Amino acid sequence: MTRATWLRIHRILGLAMAAFLLVQALTGAVLLYRGPLARAIDPIGMTSRASGPAISAGQAAARASRFLTGYQVTRLFAPDAEGATWFTQLRNADGRTAYASVDPAGGDVLRTGGIAAFPVEAALQIHYRLMAGKAGMIIVTLNALALLTMASSGLAYWWPKRKPAKALAIRWTLAPRLVLRQAHRTLGVLAAAFLILLAATGLLLIIPELAAGDAPPVSSAASAVEIDRSLALAQSAFPAAGLRDFRVYGDRLIVNFRAPERNARAVHRVVVTITKPHILAATNAQQNGALWMTILPIHSGDVLAPIGPALLLIVALALATLALSGPIMWWQAAAQRRRPARKAPA
């Protein structure tokens, strides 16, 4: 293809997807530091007061359910750092979702409400599915495909025959619109490899989820004692592993235990019944073939921790800048074309 064709593809996709790319960039930046940022934004609702005896996972689930009348816990996340809280997702008979944070020291319910009460969780839901279920996931998939194509086409259009460093130079003495154009080019080229990586890994994460379909959570009115009993049995399969989270599916708990020996996002998984508890399945992280367990640490930068998340934060901000500057450049060019041509002096 010619350079003009590459530019046309790049421009059309950029204008069509700029708003979605901006949203993905900003929410992705938030999620790189999900836990610490949640506690910084809402220290009262997301930080333990450390003023009471430790409570169990079952007790945390029961207290959240009692506080939100008519709701039952469908998922519970264990504290991921010192000062963090239990974080619960709940559902009522009408299918409405609510959330609650519970202090692991003393068991006080610190914050409850819908997704708007938990902005970092909202960022996750927007980044993953635009809060629109499978339709949102399809748009996110198209967005990743567009980003992959735009980063590739932008490189193809720019690629110089010689002296790449000179082709990246920005002449700051030019008119502002020309400086913006050169800055957009240079930033895009420098970030292209990372953007291709993020787009490709994002596709590998979301396409299997799309193919599998959405399985609606099935809550249970299990008591704290019943949940803790089943969790204790699940823990016996991986006694040295720390709890990450569990999901409730009717009479079953799907329990994830952290497996840092594989990578920062890997989990051992145990499926255990609640009534008359027995283990239905136990999968060691090393033998788990789930694609996300390999791809997610790359997509989140954890594979290069501690510098990986910081590096991807820079890339996310670069993408946000490109998503804003691209339409501005188009608008400037359109305005320039609309201006009447100046007549040459007689």
pLDDT tens for each residue of 80-107? 999 999 999 999 989 899 999 999 999 9
What pTM was computed for the model? Answer: 0.91
In whole angstroms, give the CA distance from residue 342 to residue 340. Answer: 6
Burial of 277-308, coded b for 16+ CB within 10 Å and e otherwise, reads beeeebbbbeebeeebbbbbbbbbbbeeeeeb
Residue 296: the pLDDT is: 97
Confidence of residue 222 (pLDDT cuts 50, 70, 90): confident
Query: Which DSSP helix (H) or strand (E) runs through 314?
Result: helix 307-338
Q: Which residue has the higher pLDDT, 49 or 165?
A: 49
Q: Do residues 169 and 179 lie in contact, with contact meaning Cβ atoms separated by under 8 Å?
A: no
Residues 10-25 pLDDT 10s:
999 999 999 999 999 9
In whole angstroms, give the CA distance from residue 58 to residue 286. Answer: 28
Strand partners, 218: 249
Q: Do residues 80 and 35 lie in contact, with contact meaning Cβ atoms separated by under 8 Å?
A: yes
**How large is the average pLDDT for residues 123-134?**
95
Q: Across all residues in the chain, what is the average pLDDT?
A: 93
Q: What size, in residues, is the chain?
A: 346
Exposed / middle / buried, residue 61 (Cβ in 10 Å: 0-12, 13-18, 19+): buried
Does 62 score more than 70 pLDDT? Answer: yes
Distance between alpha carbon 252 and the CA centroid of its chain, in Å? 27
